[in-house]
Structure 1
Amino acid sequence: MSSLRILLRSLAVAGLSAVLIAPASVARAQPTPAELTKQIDKSSTELERIVESYNKLSEEIKANKATAATLQAKIGPLQAQAEQSRADVGVLATTAYKTGGLRTAQALLDPGGSTSLPERLGALDQLSRQHQQTIDGFTASQRRLIDQKTRLDTTLARQAAQAKQLAAGKKKIEADLSRLYELRRQAYGRATEAPSSSSSAGNPPAISGSAGVAVRYAYGAVGKPYGYGDDGPDSYDCSGLTLAAWRAAGKSLPHNAAMQWDATARISRGSLKPGDLVFYSGLGHVAIYVGSGQIIDAPSAGRNVSKRDMDIMSIAGYGRVR
């Protein structure tokens, strides 16, 4: 074989090898920091929706537990009432047998008695009505007891099903968090943002009343890490931060952005005051307004509570705590 032919064959093999290797090399190429940032932002948005669903389910379970406790408290007295009705029926039946029923029947048959017939019929009627009232009371008590038990059983069954959903949701959140932290580690060299102090937000504005208390609390939370399902004092998710801020001011909010939307009064952007809540598209995120177009919020997993411009994403509306 000539040297030229050997050279051409070598070049052909090398070219084919390059074609075969090139796609694999491209496939193994690492994403750029900008691409990782986009992935992180997308993952963060998806994760926050899951977190808020988790929070909503937690709120519903708390409500179900409260309902179950109320029903359980009612069942005890109803059981006692039912037992008392049963005892009353027993006493009445025994009394009627020993002293009322037979003697009254004999009196009706004995025209020589000292009591007139109308009086004797009246006594029988009264005895019958008393007997029926006790029976009716017993039956009504039993019906209420059965109804309460049925409602309790339904509530507990729903609660058990929700607990399973909650466990599954928690598992998914933890897996998503692990993936998100790895993306951050690749992009920034660390899984989460470096800790910062609340002083980085500056001094809170001078606001009186409960709104002032809520805003000052939010300023004090700046720099603390995000934690799904957390409402402080060491970490927060978005609705957990707004909940905690207003809890400090003596107001109660549910731990879910959509529920907080329902629990607050609608206001316009022009009416915003420090302490009001800013809700974002899809009601998957909420922040507390602190004035001058700024909010304080718990952004997402791996990031810290921060003060920033309120137009961070599309705004769904604004709410004032009642």
Structure 2
Amino acid sequence: MAAHRKPKQRSLRGHTARTAATIALAGAATATAFDGTGHADPRLSPAEVKSKVDALYREAEIATEKYNGAKEKAENAEKSLGELRDEAARKTEKLNTARRELGSIATAQYRSGGIDPAVQLALSSDPDQYLERAALAARADSRQAAAVSGVQKQLQEIDQLHTEADGTLAHLTSRQAELKKHKETVTGKLDAAKRLLSQLTSDQRAEFTGEDKASRDTGRDGVTGVPAKAPSSRASAAVSYAYKALGSPYVWGATGPDAFDCSGLTQAAYRAAGVGLPRTTYAQIAAGERVPRSQLQPGDLVFFYQGISHVGLYVGNGQMIHAPNPSAPVRLAPISQMPFAGATRVA
């Protein structure tokens, strides 16, 4: 009788593993397709590129102004730290001089034996000479007490300077970390904008920046007209500087003389006129007298967007000179081009 064997069962392990792997890969591919990390984005239309780049430039400009503010604070902290260290060095040298003088007094007393005046008088064969020496000793003791008090005071002052320097150093370190963060944000936004713009042809890029050949050569953005007369010599000097800056490249964080960001241009223009302005847009708007849009005069600072993230120099006839963004140089443009947020007269 033939032996009956159980039918051989096929192992499902290998098939199941292969199936699971296949499903996992398919799922990963599907997820990648949705999040776009593994495939090139579908080609955007020029209008979509413009919209995305405009948004990136706006975000970069906000980060740039934060960077400028942090940089200004870091520079001030670094200057203060240097001054504190210089003052501490001067006081330390003064302290060392006082210590040497105090040591000389102590050495003289040691050499004289520090004998009690009454004993010296009893032993002295010349009372008049002793009285003269006693008076000198008394004055020496007074000088010694003053010297000790002076040394103690100087030690306290130096300790206070070191404490202030430690606090300033901590502030500087914090500002430097803030600088790094904002710098990374700016460069990331600008790199993303650059990648998007590379999808456009040269004609499309020119259309995006609103320039024709003439405007690229002059930086005038197609705006013409005779500059209006400024109300003061300082405002006139600032406007004159801005006109000379037409066509200069936009470089974030730059304050001239060869490149500018928006607040760097206005700061440089008024620096040339002998007026000091803060570094950032949100500080510049508070640096003078606020004026309504209807009363603008050449030389006024005009600000845009809700967060006061952009500034230009008004030059009359509804126009300003400003540093727009990395895609365009310093140029003339109508102030109606952007959402108006306010104006300040500084001269």
TM-score (norm 2): 0.74
3-state SS, counterpart of residue 230 of structure 1: coil
> What's the counterpart of residue 321 of structure 1?
346
Distance in 1 separating the partners of 2:273 and 2:223 = 20
Aligned counterpart for 1:205 among listed residues 224, 228, 231: 228
> What's the counterpart of residue 217 of structure 2?
196
Question: Is 1:297 the equivalent of 2:310?
Answer: no
Aligned counterpart for 1:221 among listed residues 245, 249, 262: 245
Q: Deviations over 1:171-226 (max 9, x none)?
A: 33222111112222335547674633146544433435121121122223233332
Structure 2 residue runs without a partner (length 5+): 1-29
Question: Is 1:233 the equivalent of 2:257?
Answer: yes
Residue correspondences, number: 299
Question: How large is the Cα RMSD of the aligned pairs?
Answer: 3.3
Q: Deviations over 1:134-182 (max 9, x none)?
A: 1110111112122223322332343234233323432332221111122
Check 1:269–1:122 CA distance in 2 against 1; reply closer, same or farther (3 A cut).
farther
Distance in 1 separating the partners of 2:258 and 2:277 = 19
Report 1:1-322 matches (<5 A).
29-99=42-112, 101-104=114-117, 106-107=119-120, 114=127, 126-187=139-200, 189=202, 193=209, 195-198=216-219, 200-202=222-224, 203-207=226-230, 209-280=233-304, 281-322=306-347
- 8 A contact 2:105–2:140 mirrored in 1: no
Task: Return the offset for 1:109.
Answer: 7.1
Check 1:226–1:110 CA distance in 2 against 1; reply closer, same or farther (3 A cut).
same
- 8 A contact 2:61–2:310 mirrored in 1: yes
Task: Return the offset for 1:67.
Answer: 1.2
Distance in 2 separating the partners of 1:160 and 1:105 = 63
TM-score (norm 1): 0.79
Which is helix-richer, 1 or 2?
Answer: 1
Amino acid at match of 1:204: P
- 8 A contact 2:289–2:345 mirrored in 1: yes
- 8 A contact 2:228–2:317 mirrored in 1: no
3-state SS, counterpart of residue 327 of structure 2: coil
Distance in 2 separating the partners of 1:120 and 1:128 = 12
Distance in 2 separating the partners of 1:136 and 1:279 = 57
Task: Return the offset for 1:78.
Answer: 0.6
Amino acid at match of 1:96: Q
3-state SS, counterpart of residue 283 of structure 1: coil
3-state SS, counterpart of residue 275 of structure 2: coil
Check 1:315–1:290 CA distance in 2 against 1; reply closer, same or farther (3 A cut).
same
- 8 A contact 2:219–2:329 mirrored in 1: no
3-state SS, counterpart of residue 312 of structure 2: strand
Structure 1 residue runs without a partner (length 5+): 1-20
Q: Deviations over 1:89-147 (max 9, x none)?
A: 212222233337315252477799837xx999987765543322111101111121222
Check 1:256–1:61 CA distance in 2 against 1; reply closer, same or farther (3 A cut).
same
Task: Return the offset for 1:245.
Answer: 1.4
After TM superposition, the structure 1 stretch with the greater mean CA deviation from structure 2, 240-249 or 66-75, is 66-75
